[in-house]
Amino acid sequence: MKTVIARRVTHDGVQRISLVFTYDPDLISLVKTFPGARWSSSMRYWHVPDSIDTAGRLSRLFSGKAFLDHSNIRYEETGRSDSAATGGPDEIFDKPEPVTNKEPGQISESDRKDIERYRRWLEAGRFPETTIRTYTSMLEKFLRFVSPKGAREVTSDDMVRIVDEFILPNGLSYSYQNQMISAVKKFYSVIYRNVIEPGAFSRPRRIHRLPNVLSKEEVKKILDSLTNEKHRVMLSLVYGCGLRRSEVLDLLLPDLDRDRNLVHIRQSKGFRDRLVPVSEKLVRMVDQYILHYRPVKYLFEGFQPGSRYSEASIEKVFRTAYNRAGIRKRDITLHGLRHSYATHLLESGTDLRYIQALLGHKSSRTTEIYTHVTIHSIEKIRSPFDDL
């Protein structure tokens, strides 16, 4: 089945929904019938107006004609906003599509029950909440792709098909493919006891890329562009402590040890706890933020008091600040602040073993990649061309 990926984008300063798919005259004709659809010659995709009912209208448009992946479309909740800077609401949430009968791109009730059994198994195994969300989301995408087949009818050929017809044509990453394989493989081993042959779950070859980092001046520009106190403190903690996205969002109020200027990271990647030093300046910023916002459970809360701030929201905060700062580097994401923290520590002379502990890396090989991007070790190398 043909695949269309819908994503929220900003086009000419206006929020739109992009529709990405391989060239297909039938799909193009279909998209043209959508009110307000436009073609971007610069970005090479079709885009449509972004509204609260866009996902539902797109689902009806492509029903039976193409597999629509709209999992990346998020909807801003109406109501109170604490964002003076953006004037927009603080939390973003998924708007699921109702599932009725078993049609292409839909999941049957029996398969949904098995997905719920899978979720409960993951919860009983104390998997991190982020892993549970990722695995169940990936599994749903897989079952929508193979639909109208049911989960019990899937064969090893379907694992090859989703790579050849969905992941590769849409330029999805190594990590995406690996997560998809992990989620589906574990589901079939737990729920159906390996209905699919284990050999079907072949892993992609890992691509070793150097992390993209920002200079200290660029980090300062990003933080200075944030006028909303909550947003500024969030991103400052990500950079100032080298935190992962989930780690900063999982912080509870007692996790900041003011007596020792430490942040307690609990049950992070690999189920490991660690302590990370935090500067006194940043502690004062956090205390001022708490005084003004008065969170009740999490350090950074969403629309409802006591609710966890969403990952989509903090990514949007970073992207907005990054664009305002006028930085023009490729592929910099929120995680780039963590990469920058590690690189700047290494450049200032911090031992690699300490950086490994601060980042929570299990293997020193993971941390050693930062030795390849430090400017002190690269910029001092003299080219033999200079001796000609």
Set 45, 188, 239, 370: catalytic member: 370
- Let me know if 292 is a catalytic residue: no
Across the strands, what pairs with 262?
257, 277
- Let me know if 370 is a catalytic residue: yes
- Let me know if 335 is a catalytic residue: yes
Set 186, 244, 245, 344: catalytic member: 244
Set 185, 221, 269, 274: catalytic member: 269
SS3 per-residue string spanning the chain: CCEEEEEEEEECCEEEEEEECCCCHHHHHHHHCCCCCEEECCCCEEEEECCCCHHHHHHHHHCCCCEEEEEECCEECCCCCCCCCCCCCCCEECCCCCCCCCCCCCCCHHHHHHHHHHHHHHHHCCCCHHHHHHHHHHHHHHHHHHCCCCHHHCCHHHHHHHHHHHHCCCCCCHHHHHHHHHHHHHHHHHCCCCCCCHHHCCCCCCCCCCCCCCCHHHHHHHHHCCCCHHHHHHHHHHHHHCCCHHHHHHCEHHHEECCCCEEEECCCCCCCCEEEECCHHHHHHHHHHHHHHCCCCECCECCCCCCECCHHHHHHHHHHHHHHCCCCCCCCCCHHHHHHHHHHHHHCCCCHHHHHHHHCCCCHHHHHHHHHCCHHHHHCCCCHHHHC
Across the strands, what pairs with 10?
15
- Let me know if 244 is a catalytic residue: yes
Set 16, 144, 338, 339: catalytic member: 338
Across the beta sheet with 262-265, what order do the strands follow? 256-257, 262-265, 274-277
**For the chain, how big is the Rg over CA atoms in Å?**
23
- Let me know if 361 is a catalytic residue: yes
Set 16, 74, 141, 361: catalytic member: 361
Residues designated as active site = 244, 269, 335, 338, 361, 370
